[in-house]
Amino acid sequence: MANNIVSATNAFAIAVHQILTDRCPHVDVMYAGNCVTGPLLLDYLYNVSFEQTSGYQLVFNENGDIKPRYNLYAISNQTIPKTLKIGEWSEIHFEIDDQLVPWIHNSSEVPQSVCSQPCSFHHHRIISDKQCCWSCQPCQSNEYLSDNGTACTACPHSCWPDPLNDRSCRPIPAYFIRYSEPIAVGLMSISVAGFALSTVLGHLYVQHRNTKLIKASSRELSYIILAGVLIGYLSVFVLFGEPTQVKCMACHLGLPLAFTIVYGPLLVKTNRIYRIFREGRKSKARPPFVTPRSQLIIATAIIGVQLASSVLTVFLKPPKVVKVQPVLTVPYVEIYCDVEPLEFLSSLCYNLVLALLCTYYAVLTRKLPNNFNESRYIGLCVYSTVLMWMAFVPTYYVSSSPTNRVVLLCIVAVINSTVTISSLFAVKIYVLCTNSGVVSASSSGLGESAAANNSQRVVLPYVSAQLDNVSSPRNNRLSVSTAAVNERTL
């Protein structure tokens, strides 16, 4: 109280002194009261500012009130509570000593004077009945914040919440089998080796195309089969890598066609062998459609059916590149070629029918005379093929992953081409390379007796000039008589 009286007296004294100094500097003390008036004194009091005895500055505001200044006190948490001054506040100055503040439970953290804390990342607010109060709940892993953080919304297909911004989504990188992956490197390496071997075998076939060994095995059909083998190896490179519209169309056309190019001529081959030896038991007349031209026409027609079906489907319902997210709550997306199921199934059934027919004729011709055993190797080829398809078809349709299906298709293409090369071509080339003298003598027409004497040394003897020149009337009797040697075994 005493401090306030002293401060008020000082304020009036300073104001009066300032008036006399400004308005009446030479007035006598006896007449100073005439110079000081109430309104004038009030105006000067508004502008008074001085330091009090307590050390604080006294200042009046525009309303004539002393500008406030407060000392801040806190009650200690001791057994006997007491008041502690922890700071002070004024309009121009604020100071507080945090070390002196006795927070609850003697905690050093400043408590927050809020109803609810802001929600954490990827959490949405659930507003309660109380204003400005809420609870926080996490969103699902595939959801982002919406409606100003009060709701969660699922991201669109093939998208995932942004890890840096929980209010937006971004596309999930699609997975496909890259060329650098181990499974792709392994299968492509086998394909390169198989393609190179097939090219060498094709060159040797062309080089020795006039030998009786090659001519007797339907060389024209062998060329077609070899082309199917090469396409099968090449399809592996198209199946791997990022799918595109062009690659999808190439796979849709190339892979089923590669199988047909192999199975179609094989069917014509086995059917021709069966008919020749079957007719040999009944008559000496030549069976129809056994000439090379006829065989080519039939094989082309069989291949043409598959080609026409694939081309028609490509134009009517072209394959497209699609993305699939198997599990919506997992950030995993696969990209693949979506082929019309009916077309793929029809191509698959068509090639299976061809393979089964080849197997049927291979079984019928399994007991041909010893001087003609190519059917045994054809049988080995088709038996392996049928077993492969029996394992492939259920596995392909049971698999739910598009990338696994791509791997299965590549494996089937590689196995089919490799089995065909090993069964039908490799052995013949081996005979050509190890019995070049016999083959050249037979092919020249000048050493037929020598070839006949050495025929027992050939590891894999095939039908000789009888079947190769079946269109020749002079050799027709020889072919039929050869076929009739062991007619009981057929």
Q: For residue range 49-59, what is the model confidence (pLDDT) as tens digits?
A: 877 776 677 77
* Higher-scoring residue by pLDDT: 367, 37: 37
> What is the predicted pLDDT for the residue at 458?
35
Buried b (16+ CB within 10 A) or exposed e, 78-94: eeeeeeeebbeeeeeee
pLDDT tens sequence across 162-174 = 989 889 999 999 9
> What is the predicted pLDDT for the residue at 393?
81
Q: 161, 147, 237: which is closest to 417 by C-alpha?
A: 237
CB proximity list for 313: less than 8 A, separation 6 or greater? 252, 340, 343
> What is the predicted pLDDT for the residue at 370?
54
Beta bridge partners of 170: 160
Write the CA distances from 345 to 233, 239, 243, 305, integer angstroms. Answer: 22, 18, 21, 15
pLDDT tens sequence across 342-401 = 777 888 889 889 988 988 888 887 776 655 557 778 878 888 888 888 888 888 888 888
Pairing mode of beta strands 174-175, 333-338: parallel
* Higher-scoring residue by pLDDT: 112, 89: 89
Tokens 């079946």 correspond to 470
pLDDT tens sequence across 95-146 = 888 777 777 766 767 777 778 888 888 898 888 776 678 889 999 999 999 8
Q: Report whether 80 contacts 90 (CB < 8 A).
A: no
Burial class (CB in 10 A: 0-12, 13-18, 19+), 226: buried
pLDDT at 251 over 50: yes
> What is the predicted pLDDT for the residue at 179?
92
> What is the predicted pLDDT for the residue at 237?
93
Mean per-residue pLDDT, 245-261: 89
For the ranges 172-176, 252-256, 277-281, which has the lowest average pLDDT?
277-281
Which of 20-24, 183-187, 204-208 has the highest mean predicted lDDT (pLDDT)? 183-187
- Straight-line distance from the first to the last Cα atom of the chain, in angstroms, rounded to the nearest whole number: 136
Q: What are phi and psi of 59, to 5 degrees?
A: -140, 140
Cα–Cα distance measured from residue 128 to residue 134, given in angstroms and rounded to the nearest whole number:
5
> What is the predicted pLDDT for the residue at 156?
92
For the chain, the average pLDDT equals 79
Cα–Cα distance measured from residue 179 to residue 184, given in angstroms and rounded to the nearest whole number:
6
- Take residue 172 and report the two structure tokens written for it: 């999930």
CB proximity list for 188: less than 8 A, separation 6 or greater? 179, 236, 237, 240
CB proximity list for 294: less than 8 A, separation 6 or greater? 288
Q: 65, 66, 83: which is closest to 74 by C-alpha?
A: 83
Cα–Cα distance measured from residue 464 to residue 211, given in angstroms and rounded to the nearest whole number:
10
Mean per-residue pLDDT, 83-94: 81
Provide the greatest CA pair distance for the chain. 168
For the ranges 67-76, 319-328, 440-449, which has the lowest average pLDDT?
440-449
Cα–Cα distance measured from residue 256 to residue 307, given in angstroms and rounded to the nearest whole number:
9
